[in-house]
């Protein structure tokens, strides 16, 4: 099974993780690892000491509850398409450095911690709780991620415990830390500040990881435009894009985010009212399946607003560390009947590695060019699966030769509570 990571979000050009599952059972089933029955259980920090920067505990709790309500209310065209609910357990009381180890599972920076049962680390996991901590002044962030981390990390979150039941892996605990240092009303080099709305978009993304969502690379061109100073396409940037570009815009789920959470936790309406495209990505020989290709279905009339993706070979079993699994299958759901879609394929940016990676390949596949397949794809009835388009096949043949192999991934780092994101210049 893939390692469990805590995903962080940083200030400025914030690197973050195809809107698909953050975890896949690569040992046995090849299925997404999700919360059982779509019930996400959380425990919020409470009490007068549980403040978040300038927010009181009541205000911080209301902020998080609102994010969860927004994710659970996900719908497409007025239909409730995501069957996910949030259940609050007992409040935690106030948490600080003196009792952090009772609530958060991590390996302190610079130390090597023995494992319990993989993928667990020593600490407080398997308590039956999923703590969401309000780090009022950044000290908890520094304790977990290393001294000075609170100057760049707004928050981090993700699953922390998975357990197998009747042969199926489920998330049973998650955890999150929100760094209130960024919203305490002080703006100086040693205490950076962002607007609460920007901060909200960042944390909304992180709680998407806790639910089980991965990163996505959709509308990369809109991101590049924004980074060059043109924000006219900010609304086209998904919440779960691996860079946090515009907190206010990314606070509203993009179509790709809506399809992602609905695909993981589908309501009956999602399966019965929308179509899907299934196909396979191949190397240049047309016969060898290629893992790690980002395949995007885009509405021909409104591609920025309605585009959604899937990375080939995301559901595979076995150990293939060099992204050479013989798995090129892709499934793109959430497509509307009687709408024409183009099918595009592209490499994931080489900038998206580590905590910014897009599963299943880290580092990403490379040595092939982005391309739009000829023709369009359209389904005529709800619930239909397209395997051959009206004008083109769904098979993707890339220009990547069989002999070209990606470099091996870097060894996992010790400490920091999982994959850390660092401030860096993004080069697509």
| Beta sheet of 293-299, edge-to-edge order | 307-311, 293-299, 341-347, 371-372
d(CA 143, CA 258): 35
User: Which residue would you say has higher pLDDT here, 114 or 187?
Assistant: 187
| pLDDT computed for residue 402 by the predictor | 61
Question: Mean pLDDT throughout 5-25?
Answer: 53
User: What confidence category does residue 114 fall into, taking pLDDT thresholds of 50, 70 and 90?
Assistant: low
- High-pLDDT (> 70) share of the chain, %: 85
Question: Mean pLDDT throughout 60-68?
Answer: 96
| pLDDT computed for residue 100 by the predictor | 92
Question: Mean pLDDT throughout 107-125?
Answer: 60
Q: Which residues are registered as beta bridge partners of 343?
A: 297
Whether residue 218 has pLDDT greater than 90:
yes
Nearest to 314 by CA among 25, 6, 17: 25
User: What confidence category does residue 117 fall into, taking pLDDT thresholds of 50, 70 and 90?
Assistant: low
User: What confidence category does residue 341 fall into, taking pLDDT thresholds of 50, 70 and 90?
Assistant: very high
Question: Mean pLDDT throughout 165-192?
Answer: 93
Question: Mean pLDDT throughout 118-136?
Answer: 75
Nearest to 311 by CA among 352, 251, 250, 270: 352
User: What confidence category does residue 392 fall into, taking pLDDT thresholds of 50, 70 and 90?
Assistant: low
CB 343 within 8 A of CB 334: no
CB 401 within 8 A of CB 284: yes
**Domains of the chain with bracketed CATH:** 7-258 (no CATH), 274-397 (2.60.40)
Question: Mean pLDDT throughout 6-26?
Answer: 56
| pLDDT computed for residue 124 by the predictor | 55
Whether residue 398 has pLDDT greater than 70:
yes
d(CA 184, CA 56): 11
Of the given ranges (18-27, 30-39, 384-393), which has the lowest mean pLDDT? Answer: 384-393
Average pLDDT in the chain: 84
Of the given ranges (119-133, 304-318, 369-383), which has the lowest mean pLDDT? Answer: 119-133
CB 34 within 8 A of CB 22: no
Nearest to 29 by CA among 169, 225, 170, 123: 169
**Structural Rg of the chain based on CA atoms:** 21
CB 365 within 8 A of CB 292: yes
- High-pLDDT (> 90) share of the chain, %: 61
Question: Mean pLDDT throughout 187-200?
Answer: 91
Whether residue 425 has pLDDT greater than 70:
no
| pLDDT computed for residue 209 by the predictor | 93
Whether residue 405 has pLDDT greater than 50:
no
Q: How far apart are the first and last CA of the chain?
A: 29
CB 206 within 8 A of CB 177: no
Whether residue 357 has pLDDT greater than 80:
yes
| pLDDT computed for residue 123 by the predictor | 52
User: What confidence category does residue 121 fall into, taking pLDDT thresholds of 50, 70 and 90?
Assistant: very low
Q: What is the pLDDT of residues 290-300, one digit of tens each?
A: 999 999 999 99
Q: What is the pLDDT of residues 232-243, one digit of tens each?
A: 999 999 999 988
Residue 340 CB-density burial (10 A; 0-12 exposed, 13-18 middle, 19+ buried):
middle
Q: Which residues are registered as beta bridge partners of 281?
A: 396
Residues with Cβ within 8 Å of 337's Cβ and at least 6 positions away in sequence, in order, are 274, 275, 379, 380, 381, 382, 384
| pLDDT computed for residue 418 by the predictor | 35
Give the β-pairing of 79-80 and 131-135. Answer: unpaired
Question: Mean pLDDT throughout 329-339?
Answer: 93
Question: Mean pLDDT throughout 101-127?
Answer: 67
Q: Which residues are registered as beta bridge partners of 24?
A: 32
């Amino acid at each position: 099974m893939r390692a469990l990571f805590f995903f962080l979000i940083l200030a400025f050009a914030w690197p973050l993780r195809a809107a698909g599952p953050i975890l896949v059972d690569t040992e046995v089933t090849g299925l997404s690892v999700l919360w059982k029955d779509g019930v996400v259980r959380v425990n919020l920090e409470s009490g007068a000491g549980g403040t978040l920067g300038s927010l009181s505990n009541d205000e911080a709790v209301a902020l998080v509850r609102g994010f969860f309500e927004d994710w659970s209310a996900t719908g497409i065209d007025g239909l409730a398409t995501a069957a996910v609910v949030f259940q609050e357990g007992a409040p935690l009381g106030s948490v600080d450095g003196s009792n952090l180890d009772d609530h958060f599972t991590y390996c302190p920076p610079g130390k090597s911690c023995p494992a319990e049962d993989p993928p667990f680390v020593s600490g407080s996991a398997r308590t039956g709780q999923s703590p969401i901590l309000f780090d009022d002044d950044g000290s908890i962030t520094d304790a977990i991620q290393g001294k000075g981390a609170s100057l760049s990390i707004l928050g981090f979150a993700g699953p922390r415990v998975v357990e197998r039941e009747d042969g199926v892996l489920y998330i049973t605990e998650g955890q999150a830390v929100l760094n209130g240092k960024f919203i305490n009303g002080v703006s100086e080099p040693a205490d950076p500040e962002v607007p609460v709305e920007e901060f909200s978009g960042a944390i909304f993304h992180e709680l998407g990881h806790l639910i089980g969502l991965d990163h996505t690379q959709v509308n990369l061109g809109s991101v590049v435009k924004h980074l060059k100073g043109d924000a006219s396409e900010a609304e086209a940037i998904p919440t779960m894009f691996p860079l946090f570009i515009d907190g206010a815009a990314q606070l509203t789920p993009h179509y790709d985010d809506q399809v992602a959470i609905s695909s993981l936790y589908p309501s009956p309406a999602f399966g019965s009212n929308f179509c899907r495209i299934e196909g396979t990505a191949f190397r240049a020989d047309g016969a060898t399946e290629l893992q790690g290709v980002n395949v995007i279905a885009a509405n021909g009339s409104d591609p920025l607003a309605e585009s959604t993706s899937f990375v080939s070979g995301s559901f595979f079993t076995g150990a293939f560390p060099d992204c050479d699994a013989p798995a090129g299958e892709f499934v793109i759901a959430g497509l509307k009947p009687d709408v024409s879609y183009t099918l595009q394929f592209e490499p994931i940016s080489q900038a998206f590695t580590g905590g910014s990676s897009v599963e299943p390949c880290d580092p990403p596949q490379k040595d092939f060019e982005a391309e739009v397949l000829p023709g369009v794809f359209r389904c005529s009835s709800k619930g239909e699966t397209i395997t051959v388009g009206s004008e083109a096949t769904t098979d993707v043949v890339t220009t990547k030769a069989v002999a070209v192999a990606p470099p091996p991934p870097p060894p996992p780092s010790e400490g920091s509570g999982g994959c850390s994101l660092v401030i860096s210049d993004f080069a697509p």
